[in-house]
Structure 1
Amino acid sequence: MRMMLFALFWLCQSLGLMAETLSRSTIEPFIVPPYALGEPVNDKGVWTLLNSGGAEAGYVFETAQMAPLPGFSGAPVNMLVMLDLDGRFIDVRLISHNEPIFVSGLGEAPFRKFLEQYRGHSINTPMVVGTSYGSGAGDGGLVYLDGVVKATASVRIAHESILAATLQVAREKMQGVQSAPPAYPDPDHDEPLDWAALVDQGIARNLRVTNAEVDAAFAGTVWADDDPEASADPEGLFLDLWLVDIGPPAIARAVLPADALAELQDFLSVSGFDEPLLVIDAGRHGLVGPDFVRNTAPDLLAATQDGLPIALRDADLIFSTLPDVPEGVAMILRTDRRLGFDPTRDWQFEAKALRAHGMFQPEIGMVGFSLTHATPERFFARAEVAEPLPPWLEALRNRAADLVVLALALPALLWALGPRMNRLADHRHYGAIRLSVLAFVTGFVGWWGQAQLSIVTPLAVLRTAVEGGSFAYLLYDPVSLLVWAVTLIGFVLWGRGLFCGWLCPFGALQEFAHKLGRLLRLPRLELSARWDTRAKALKYLLLAGLVATVILAPEHIDTAAEIEPFKTAITTFFLRDGIYVAYAGFWLVLGLFTFKGFCRYVCPLGALMALGGLLRGRDWIARRKACGAPCQLCRVKCSYGAIKPTGQIVYSECFQCLDCVTIHNDPTRCVPLILAARGRSLQKAPAA
C-alpha cells in the first residue's frame, strides 16, 4: 500500500514538473501598476518585474514549476509570486488549484484572503501558518499567518510551495549562493559506523538547553514567568536534541534497523531530491506543537543556510532506531537539495521555544536555540562541473541546423546571381524562381531564423567603436552574422542589390504586397522623376540623423531606430503595441500601390547599403550603345527608377531584380536586338 502511495506521489510530482509555464498573455493580467512584466529569465516560469520607470524591481514566478508539492487533489497549487529585490513579498496571487475544500466547499475567497497575508513580509523572516491569539512575538520575529478553518492542511501545503519556490529564486537570482554542483549521497561510499562514531566525528550533533537557560532567554519580557514547570526544575532539560543527516547510506545504517532503512530507501527512491534529517528530542520541547499536521513543515523547528531559510517538511515516516541511538521524540524531516541546500556546508538548525502570556487572548513570545551542522564531504558525490562553452560557440551549436541550411542556400544564390546570372535571367520561369527565393527569405531567414538585418547592428558597432568595448556580441547571432558576411561579399560584387533585392525579409514582404496590388488591379502610384530623385535623398538624411543620435544621445538610439518596421513585421510577427503595427502595416499597404516605397525612400539600412556599394568593383549589368539612345525600354520597365535616360545604371538604387538583364538578353523584347534582326533580314532579301 505504501509503495502505491509513493508511486502516486511520484506521478503527481512528475505531472507538476511537466506542466508548461504560463505565457506572457496569461501572466500580465496579474501584474498591476506601478509594476509591469519584464522578460523571462529561465524556462521555469521566472520573469523580471519592472517598475514604472522600466527598471528592474524584482521577480515574478510560478510556484508549480519549481515547487510542485502535491495537494489533496494530487496536483500542485499554482500561485504567482511577486518578489522585490530585497526579498519582500509584493503580492501572491492564486492561479490554479484543485483543492477539494476550496473547489466545492468553502470557495476560493478564503484561499485568496490567506495569500494576501504575505504582502510586505520578507523571505528572511520565519513564517508559520497558525492562529495568533494576540500581538507580540519574541526576539525571533516569528510571523503568524492566519490559517483557514477546515483547510489547514491545504493552506500549509500552499505555504510550503510558496516558500520553496521563493527560496529557489532568492538563491539563484539574488544571492548566487550556490558555488558548487549540488551534493547528493554517494551510494558507493561505505564505512563501518555506529552511534558512538557518529558522535565522535561530529556527524551526529547534540543541542542541550536547560529550563534555566530558557528562563534566562525570556528574562525581562512579559513571558518571563509563564513557564512554571521550568521554574520548578531549573536544571531539567528543555531540549536534549540530536540531529543527524541520514541521507548517506553509511550513516543511515548506523542509525536505523533494517526495516526502517528499507522504508527510508523506498521513500528516497521516489523522492530522490530530498535530503532526510533525523531529529530526536528527549527533553520537554517535543519537536512540534499540538496543532502540527503530518507531512507539513514543523512549526517549532527551522533551518537556515547562508542567511536564507531551508524549507523543512515532515517525511511522514513511522520508524524505529537502533538500540544505541538516544531515545526520545523522533521524526525524519526532509528538504529539497534542488532549492540550494548543501549538506556538506555549515547550516543552522533551530528549535523554537514558545510561551503564551495571558489567558483569553494570549500574547505569543518566541526564542530560538540553534546548533550548526555539516556532514563530511566524503559521504557525498557531486556531478562533474560542466565547463560552459563560450557564448559564441553555444550560439553556433544552438543554430547549427539553420546555419547548415543557409550554408547551402546562400552560396547557391551567389552562384546563381554571379556566373549563372544570364542563364537565371533568361529562364522561362524566372519570375516564379525569384518569388520562391523571396518566400524562403521571408519565412526561413526572417520569421524562423530571425536574421532580418537592421541598421541597429551597424549603429551598435559604431557606438562600441566610439565608447570602447568588445565586439564579441556580434558572434551571439551567428545566423545574422552569416547573412552579413554574404552581404559584404555582395557589396564587392554587385553593390546594395544582393541584400536589398534578395536577402531582406521586409523588402520581400513589400514586393509580395505590390504583386498583390497588381493582381487586384489597384492603381499604381509613383512619384514624378524629379520628386523621385528628391525623395530618395531622404534615406540618407535619416541615416545621418541616426549616426548623430548614436554620438550625441546614445540613450535614445533604440527609439530612433524604430524608423525601421523590421522589428514589428519580422522579429515580433506584428505582436506589438498598436502604433508599431500600424506603422509597419502602413508601408505594406502603401506597397499595394507604390513599389517598395520604404526601401527606396526611407530605409536607413538601404542608405548604408548604397554607400557600402561604393566597394563594387565593376559595372556588372551589360549595356549596348543603343541603350538610352534611342532605346528607353529598360528605363521604363525599371520599377526602382535605377536607370538614367542615358541608359546608365544607377547602382546605388539598383536592387538586382534582373528585369533589365532579362530584357537585354531577350531577342523578342530588346529593341536593339529586334532592329538588328530586321536589318539582317532586309540585307538577305535581295539575294533571295
Structure 2
Amino acid sequence: TKATASVRIAHESIMAAAHSVAREHMQGRVAAPAARPDFEYDEALSWADLVEQGLARHLRITNAEIDAMFQGTRWAYSDPVAQADPEGLYLDLWLVDVTPPAIARAALDQSTIDQMTRFRGVAPTDEFLLLIDAGRHGLVSDTFVRNTSPDQVKAEQGGFPIALRDADFLVDLAPGVPEGTAMILRTDRRLGFNPAEPFTLIVEAVREHGFITPEIGRVELELEHQTDERFFLREKVITPLPPWLEALYNRQLDLVMLALGLAALVWALGARMNRFAGWRYFTPARLLILAVMTGFVGFWGQGQLSIVTPLGVLRTALESGSFLFLLYDPFSLMVWAAALLGFVLWGRGLFCGWLCPFGALQEFAHHLGRALRLPQIEPSAAWDKRLKSLKYVALVGLVGLVAFAPQHVDTAAEIEPFKTAITVFFWREWYFVAYAIFWLALGMVLFKGFCRYLCPLGAVMAVGGLLRGRDWIARRAECGSPCQLCRVKCAYGAIEKSGKIAYSECFQCLDCVAIHDDENRCVPLVLAARKAGRPAHTAATPANVTLPQQAPI
C-alpha cells in the first residue's frame, strides 16, 4: 500500500543518515558524495557491447569447482547432484548495473524499464543491479520472500557491506541476453553505495550435513564489478569553510565599511586632531559620528563590545582553552582592535568617547535633557571621585565570579545594559528593559552616568589605557594655576584642579583641546593677546574663572 511504501521510504531515509554518520566515524573522514546516473547521457549499446566493455560481468562455476571448494570439510559429499554431473553448471551468473538508461535498454525489455522508471519516481536515489543465473544455484533459497533482502546474495564496497533488497519487478530481458533466473536488486546510494566505484557481489553456496538438525556450510563466490565513469555524474565536493572564515566572508562588506570608518576616525583624531577639534562644525560632526556608531556599529553590525569578552578570555586562559571563539565575530573583533590601538595612542578615550554605541545613546540622552531644560545633577568633586571607583568594584566582582563561580558570570554581566539596548533592541523581559531605560533616562540629567561610574568595561578600558605612551593633550604652565577653564568645561571630571589630565577618565571629547588652541577662549592666549595690544574677542567665561586685569602702562 501507499502507507507501507511511505513508512519504508522514511525508514530507509533514517537508515541512510545513520549509515553515513557511522561510515564517517569508522573511516575517520567525511565520505565524498556518491556518483549518480547521468540520465541525459545516451549511447547505442547491445548485449555484446556490454560484455565486451566489461559492463556485464560474468561468473561461471561448475559442479566440480564447487565440490573442490568444499573439499576437506564435512560438507564435501553433501551434494549428490554435483557428484553425479561434475561438468554441470552450479552458477552461471551475469551482473549488470542497469540504472544508466543506455545500459538498461541493452539488457532489459521496455516493460521492465518502465517499472524501474516508475519506482525511481518514489525512490530517486536507488541503484538497480540485474542478476541472471543460468546455473542451478537459483540466487535465492526456497524460503525467500520477495521485496526483502536476498538470503544468499550480498555485496561489499570499500570494506563495508551494501544493503541489497529485491526490487520486486517482473523482469523481462532484451533480445540476445542469456536466459536464466533473473532478478533486480536495488540499493540506496545514500547508504554509501557508489556505483562508479568497484564493488564485489558475493553469492553464497550453501550445503547441509545431517537430517534432523543439519549443520550449514557456506562458501562465498565473488564477482567484481565496476560500471564505467561515463555513465555517471559526480557532485563537486565542497569543503566547508572554517566557521571563523565563513563569518569573515559573510561580513566582508560590513568589515570594509567599518575599516574605512575607523581609519578615517583615527586619522581625524590623530594627524588632524587640533584642526578637527577647532572646526566650527565639530559638534554636529561628532554627533553624526556617534549616530553612525549607534546605527551601523551597534544596531546593524552588533559591534557593541561587552565585558563578557574579556571575562571569556580570562576564563579560557584559566581553563587552558582555545581562543578561536574570538574569530567567530570579526566585526566586534575589529572594534576591539581599534580599542587596543586607542590604548597605545590615547588611552580609553577612543572607544569610550567615540566607538561605544550605548555611550552614544547616553550622550544623545544628555543633549535631549539639555534641550528640554531639565535640571542637571553635578556631583561634587569628592562624590565624583567616590562614584568613579564603583566601576572597578564591579570589575573585581566579575573577575572573582570567573574564578570562583563561573556559572553566575552571565547573570552578573547583565550589569551592562548593552545587551538589552543594542543587541536585542529592548525586546526582553520588562525588568531588563526598565534597567536599560533607567540609565538612559538618568543620562538626561546626569551626564553619561553609567559610563563614568558603573561600567565594568569602562574599567577594563581604563586599565588598558595604562599602555598609553604619551600625554597627548597639550598643557600650558598656566593650566590649573591660575586658569581653571578646561577643568570647569570638562563634563567627565577628567581634569584635576592642578590642570593635570586624568587620562583614565578622559573620553576624548576634545573640548579642552579646542579651548587650548582658541585665542578667544584660552585664558593664557587671551592675556597674551592683551599684552601684545591685540584685540581679543573672548567668549563667555564661567563665573568661577576670572581673567586677570592687565596692568596699566
Change (3 A) 1:670 1:552: same
Show the counterpart of 1:200: 58
> 2:462·2:505 contact (CA, 8 Å) conserved in 1?
yes
Which of 606, 611, 615 is matched with 2:463 structurally?
A: 611
1:199 Cα offset (Å):
6.3
Give the whole-Å Cα distance in 1 for the aligned partners of 2:24 and 2:435: 43
| Mean CA deviation greater in 423-432 or 573-582 | 573-582
Tell me the SS of whatever aligns to 1:180.
Answer: coil
Show the counterpart of 2:32: 181
Give the whole-Å Cα distance in 1 for the aligned partners of 2:409 and 2:265: 34
Show the counterpart of 1:543: 395
Percent of matched pairs sharing the same residue:
53
For residues 71-82 of structure 1, what are the structure 2 equivalents within 5 Å? none
Matched, 1:451 2:303: yes
Change (3 A) 1:329 1:174: closer
- Given residue 504 of structure 1, which amino acid in structure 2 is its aligned partner? C
Matched, 1:524 2:381: no
> 1:403·1:479 contact (CA, 8 Å) conserved in 2?
yes
Give the whole-Å Cα distance in 1 for the aligned partners of 2:339 and 2:437: 27
Change (3 A) 1:589 1:682: closer
> 2:163·2:187 contact (CA, 8 Å) conserved in 1?
no
For residues 291-302 of structure 1, what are the structure 2 equivalents within 5 Å? none
- Given residue 301 of structure 2, which amino acid in structure 1 is its aligned partner? G
What is the number of equivalent residue pairs in this alignment? 459
Tell me the SS of whatever aligns to 2:35.
Answer: strand
1:678 Cα offset (Å):
3.9
Give the whole-Å Cα distance in 1 for the aligned partners of 2:165 and 2:125: 10
Which of 561, 569, 573 is matched with 2:421 structurally?
A: 569
Matched, 1:642 2:487: no
Give the whole-Å Cα distance in 1 for the aligned partners of 2:13 and 2:374: 59
Tell me the SS of whatever aligns to 1:543.
Answer: helix
Give the whole-Å Cα distance in 2 for the aligned partners of 1:271 and 1:631: 89
Show the counterpart of 2:511: 659
Which of 430, 444, 465 is matched with 2:317 structurally?
A: 465
Show the counterpart of 1:407: 259
Change (3 A) 1:540 1:169: farther
> 1:287·1:329 contact (CA, 8 Å) conserved in 2?
no
Give the whole-Å Cα distance in 2 for the aligned partners of 1:588 and 1:172: 54
Give the whole-Å Cα distance in 2 for the aligned partners of 1:505 and 1:665: 29
Change (3 A) 1:312 1:438: farther
1:275 Cα offset (Å):
3.0
Give the whole-Å Cα distance in 1 for the aligned partners of 2:407 and 2:438: 27
Show the counterpart of 2:484: 632
Which of 280, 286, 294 is matched with 1:434 structurally?
A: 286
Tell me the SS of whatever aligns to 2:128.
Answer: strand
Matched, 1:475 2:331: no
Which of 577, 594, 601 is matched with 2:446 structurally?
A: 594
Show the counterpart of 1:672: 524
Pick the structure with greater CA Rg. Answer: 2
Give the whole-Å Cα distance in 2 for the aligned partners of 1:310 and 1:593: 75
For residues 138-537 of structure 1, what are the structure 2 equivalents within 5 Å? 179-185=30-36, 187=38, 192-193=49-50, 198=56, 200=58, 246-249=98-101, 251-257=103-109, 274-277=125-128, 287=146, 321-323=173-175, 324=177, 337=189, 376=226, 378-379=228-229, 380=232, 382-537=234-389
> 1:452·1:566 contact (CA, 8 Å) conserved in 2?
yes
Give the whole-Å Cα distance in 1 for the aligned partners of 2:367 and 2:6: 58
> 1:536·1:601 contact (CA, 8 Å) conserved in 2?
yes
Give the whole-Å Cα distance in 1 for the aligned partners of 2:179 and 2:304: 71
- Given residue 476 of structure 1, which amino acid in structure 2 is its aligned partner? Y
- Given residue 493 of structure 2, which amino acid in structure 1 is its aligned partner? G
1:424 Cα offset (Å):
0.8
- Given residue 557 of structure 1, which amino acid in structure 2 is its aligned partner? V
TM-score by length of 1: 0.55
Deviations 1:361-389 (A, max 9, x none): xxxxxxxxxxx999747555543544444
RCO higher in 1 or 2 (8 Å CA, sep ≥ 6)?
A: 2
Tell me the SS of whatever aligns to 2:396.
Answer: helix
Give the whole-Å Cα distance in 2 for the aligned partners of 1:448 and 1:311: 54
> 2:247·2:330 contact (CA, 8 Å) conserved in 1?
yes
> 1:628·1:646 contact (CA, 8 Å) conserved in 2?
yes
Give the whole-Å Cα distance in 1 for the aligned partners of 2:164 and 2:515: 77
Give the whole-Å Cα distance in 2 for the aligned partners of 1:524 and 1:170: 67
Matched, 1:584 2:436: yes
Change (3 A) 1:328 1:544: same
Give the whole-Å Cα distance in 2 for the aligned partners of 1:593 and 1:304: 79
1:425 Cα offset (Å):
0.8
Give the whole-Å Cα distance in 2 for the aligned partners of 1:605 and 1:468: 23
Change (3 A) 1:342 1:541: farther
Tell me the SS of whatever aligns to 1:405.
Answer: helix
Change (3 A) 1:374 1:329: closer
Q: Which runs of 5+ in 2 are unaligned?
A: 61-93, 132-138, 149-154, 202-221, 537-549
Give the whole-Å Cα distance in 2 for the aligned partners of 1:596 and 1:174: 58
Deviations 1:261-292 (A, max 9, x none): 69978997x99963353789999988579xxx
1:577 Cα offset (Å):
3.8
> 1:167·1:308 contact (CA, 8 Å) conserved in 2?
no
Q: Which runs of 5+ in 1 are unaligned?
A: 1-151, 203-241, 290-302, 349-371
1:602 Cα offset (Å):
1.5
Change (3 A) 1:635 1:490: same
TM-score by length of 2: 0.67
> 2:311·2:402 contact (CA, 8 Å) conserved in 1?
yes
Change (3 A) 1:649 1:375: farther
> 1:163·1:311 contact (CA, 8 Å) conserved in 2?
no
1:683 Cα offset (Å):
9.8
- Given residue 483 of structure 1, which amino acid in structure 2 is its aligned partner? V
Deviations 1:655-679 (A, max 9, x none): 0011222233333333333344344
Tell me the SS of whatever aligns to 1:183.
Answer: coil
Give the whole-Å Cα distance in 2 for the aligned partners of 1:433 and 1:614: 29
RMSD: 4.8
Tell me the SS of whatever aligns to 1:558.
Answer: helix
Tell me the SS of whatever aligns to 1:605.
Answer: helix
- Given residue 508 of structure 2, which amino acid in structure 1 is its aligned partner? Q
For residues 93-108 of structure 1, what are the structure 2 equivalents within 5 Å? none
